[in-house]
Structure 1
């Protein structure tokens, strides 16, 4: 059988993990150069569409404003992500114990997914006195459903033969959950974390747009709003880049965590 041998001149390039990093990086550089070339050749004003160099320069000069805003948005994101993970796993564990409970309450979990957060965020902000807590609750609602759905599916996706063996050995519900269902659900759970981490960031940004908070407790969404009012488009682009990079870092962190947890035994991480 014919096999493709690694390139002896560039053995490092033939490694799949290295290619996963290099190829997206090369594409990103090409897109940035194309962006810079189009803006420069077209002489587009920076107040309409700033170039990458102008955006990076604004990011450096306005870091005194954007840095604290990034930390505030990141705090809301991480708190809501943690809350969504804990609450979502707890609900999934409850659902898997009884089909009747899952049938009765799962439609309400779907209701959280299909209800636009911009429609209920004003009510949550009115009901909860603390602005930070209100933002965390709004962001948690956005990220909650993938945790519930994927974890419940994973806990249900056990081998019937193994489940019959556990019942034959008279294992308790806790033993079945801990030794059979949770290991089987790990790939589904980590897939949910990758989705929920990004949704937590989206929820935090959207919630702050709705809240329109000002003062010391302001995130990147507030900086985008203020930049729009002041027609400071380079600062707006800088804030958008920070949000995008934060989402990428969160996804990569969840991917690394998944690789460390299940990469040595599950084929999805090989």
Structure 2
């Protein structure tokens, strides 16, 4: 427990010494002490901005989790639906958020918060869908046959077998989407150039 703390302190000390020895300008690479001083000095302005960015990221993550889980269940229940719509989910993931964010902000110009949430949702949606679908399709076929032998319905098999099996995959996708939602929120704020009451960290 003590080793990571010592390593962190050594890294911060080395960082501060490197900045001072090389006389690196603060706008290129500020030292840890300057960062701490700025955080204390500008805390009243940074805290509301941080809270706004976190609200956007959390809202987008919740929306991505609910919609991604629903879509994944539909994909797992019907191979035709999966083959028909999964390529569009991939397309949604590969679309650069910087390219689509201005369009979304224009379409939702009367609600900047909703526009930023949609941008962050686009980034966070796919990992939950892909991981959950993989988990639902990884169910042991012998267990599926056992449920069929006991005349379990499709939804009973889903609820009592497929969903518990897919839980580790779903949590892995949720972990990825959590980071992506925050990145998407900051990038969307940067592209939008928000200001005033709805401004975030960007």
Same fold (TM over 0.5): yes
Structure with bigger RCO (C-alpha 8 Å, 6+ apart): 2
2:101 counterpart residue number: 121
1:82 aligns with 2:66: no
Where in structure 1 are there 5+ consecutive unaligned residues?
1-17, 222-270
1:28 counterpart residue number: 8
1:7 counterpart residue number: none
Question: Equivalents in 2 of 1:25, 1:186: separation in Å?
Answer: 33
Question: Equivalents in 2 of 1:203, 1:109: separation in Å?
Answer: 17
1:179 aligns with 2:155: no
2:112 counterpart residue number: 131
1:173, distance to aligned residue in structure 2 (A): 1.2
Provide the alpha-carbon RMSD of the alignment: 1.1
Question: Equivalents in 2 of 1:218, 1:95: separation in Å?
Answer: 37
Question: Equivalents in 1 of 2:3, 2:139: separation in Å?
Answer: 37
1:213 counterpart residue number: 194
- Normalised TM-score (structure 2): 0.96
Moved >6 Å (runs of 4+): none
One of 126, 129, 142 as aligned partner of 1:161? 142
Query: 1:242-253 maps to which residues of 2 (within 5 A)?
Result: none
1:167, distance to aligned residue in structure 2 (A): 0.6
1:49 aligns with 2:51: no
2:52 counterpart residue number: 72
Distance change >3 Å, CA 83–CA 126, structure 1 → 2:
same
Question: Equivalents in 2 of 1:53, 1:59: separation in Å?
Answer: 10
Q: Classify the secondary structure of the residue corresponding to 1:125.
A: helix
1:23, distance to aligned residue in structure 2 (A): 4.5
- Normalised TM-score (structure 1): 0.72
Distance change >3 Å, CA 130–CA 183, structure 1 → 2:
same
Question: Equivalents in 2 of 1:41, 1:141: separation in Å?
Answer: 44
Question: Equivalents in 1 of 2:49, 2:119: separation in Å?
Answer: 18
Question: Equivalents in 2 of 1:132, 1:44: separation in Å?
Answer: 37
Aligned residue pair count: 201
Question: Equivalents in 2 of 1:173, 1:163: separation in Å?
Answer: 10
Question: Equivalents in 1 of 2:89, 2:5: separation in Å?
Answer: 38
Question: Equivalents in 1 of 2:96, 2:8: separation in Å?
Answer: 32
